[in-house]
């Protein structure tokens, strides 16, 4: 079991599954961010826009949800 999945299972104790589960969609932007930081990958405009939209969506789910 990965760390993220473990955190997801713990989060079910504190919030509804309809809020916690969509937040797993932000795994992908964090992989991209870490690949830039640690692997020195190049990031383009499309990737940057995707990261921003994913984080905005996660924030919206958290606030509105």
* Full 3-state SS string of the chain: CCHHHHHHHHHCCCCCHHHHHHHHHHHHHHHHHHHHHHHCCCCCHHHHHHHHHHHHHHHHHHHHC
| 41: alpha, beta or left? (left if phi > 0; alpha if psi -120 to 50) | beta
Distance CA 39, CA 17 (A): 33
Domain for residue 20, yes or no?
no
Domain for residue 47, yes or no?
yes
pTM (two decimals): 0.63
Domain for residue 60, yes or no?
yes
Distance CA 56, CA 49 (A): 10
Domain count, the chain: 1
Domain for residue 8, yes or no?
no
Q: Express each pLDDT in 24-64 by its tens digit.
A: 777 788 888 889 899 999 989 998 898 889 888 888 877 87
List the domain range (segments joined by +) for residue 38.
25-65
């Amino acid at each position: 079991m990965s760390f993220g999945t473990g955190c997801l299972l713990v989060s079910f104790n504190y919030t509804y599954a309809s809020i916690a589960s969509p937040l797993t969609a932000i795994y992908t932007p964090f992989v991209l961010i870490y690949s830039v930081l640690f692997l020195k990958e190049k990031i383009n405009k499309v990737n940057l826009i995707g990261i921003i939209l994913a984080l905005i969506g996660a924030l919206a789910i958290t606030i509105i949800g």
